Amino acid sequence: MTERTLILAFESSCDETSVAVIENGTKILSNIVATQIDSHQRFGGVVPEVASRHHIEQITKCTNEALEQAEVDYNDLDAVAVTYGPGLVGSLLIGVTAAKTIAWAHNLPLVPVNHMAGHIYAARYVGEFKYPQMALLVSGGHTELVYMPSEHEYQIIGETRDDAAGEAYDKIGRVLGVNYPAGKTIDEWAAKGKDTFNFPRAMEKEDNYDFSFSGLKSAFINTVHNADQRGEKLDKYDLAASFQQSVIDVLAEKTMRALDDYPVKQLILAGGVAANHGLRTRLDHDMKEFHPDVPMLQAPLKLCGDNAAMIGAAGYVNYKHGDRAGLDLNAVPGLMFDRIQNK
């Protein structure tokens, strides 16, 4: 009979309060997510103080609901896993405090989890991981290429030097009058337009795996503002398509180059922007053409955003490898994987 390991997982790094119960790192018994999008939309982005207050209001409710939906109680649990970074420090502290309290009260091991590892392991619900593997992490705050030579080992080989892709989407969304978060709407508009503006593809041909989206964002904003000053109305669908094509071209080009240089058995696509239809379609095409022998696992659409199920999946791996934290565990808002030199 297979051993059953149940982990209660917490995620509160930004503007979602989420608690999940995960069995053996691969089965979701519950995954409760309380979103705060409505509260932040009028500000055009996440307000840290507002986010922290919402986490305080929701964390106990989410915990109770997660246990109830999973039909378990604290005595059934084997460990408590929690995101301790990266993220907003105030938001992280709510989840960390809740996890520490439950771990102490019920004498359970406390397992610290890197939020970005959680995003990678969201894809574990789609299929088994094989190593070595490469992960393209594309989210609101991070754009990274992470090489994983083995389970529980993460090495950044490339990352954004300024704005993350998701940040760029939200910033140009404001110019187009799209509510935060803008990614889904821009993706939908892009499907209706054409790449007529030929925005810059920063660092696309440079001999590294790093990214830059600040110049693209500036070029987009300048194009729109210059047209406004001339009284010219630009097609929003073509603007969206041109912006998105630039992002996708760079992401796909760098990923294919990384796979040329790092022979792997899998590519993982994860993070909030991994839900982008245009990006998924392009990577599907490129993988079949350039790396047909490397399967790609894409995080499920419903698990691309922040959620505790992904933290439970990564937490299970950490638990197996003996990762434990004491009651002095603190939030680490700037937590990062190790960076290695490019081959």
Residue 136 annotated as binding site: no
Q: How far apart are CA 244 and CA 277, in angstroms?
A: 11
Residue 293 annotated as binding site: no
Residue 139 annotated as binding site: yes
Question: Which strand ranges, in their side-by-side order, compose the sheet holding 110-114?
Answer: 27-35, 16-23, 6-11, 79-85, 110-114
With both helix axes pointing from N to C terminus, report the angle between 236-261 and 165-175 in degrees, rounded to the nearest 10. Answer: 170
How many residues comprise the chain?
343
Residue 142 annotated as binding site: no
What is the bridge-based pairing of β-strands 155-159 and 143-148? antiparallel
Residue 277 annotated as binding site: no
Residue 140 annotated as binding site: yes
Residue 187 annotated as binding site: yes
Residue 170 annotated as binding site: yes
Residue 285 annotated as binding site: no
Residue 276 annotated as binding site: yes
Residue 307 annotated as binding site: no
Q: What angle do CA 284, 288, 290 make, to 5 degrees?
A: 115
Q: How far apart are CA 19 and CA 74, in angstroms?
A: 14
177 CB neighbour count, 10 Å cutoff: 9
Residue 226 annotated as binding site: no
Q: Which residues are annotated as a binding site for Fe cation?
A: 115, 119, 306
Q: Which residues are annotated as a binding site for substrate?
A: 137-141, 170, 183, 187, 276
Q: Which residues are annotated as a binding site?
A: 115, 119, 137-141, 170, 183, 187, 276, 306
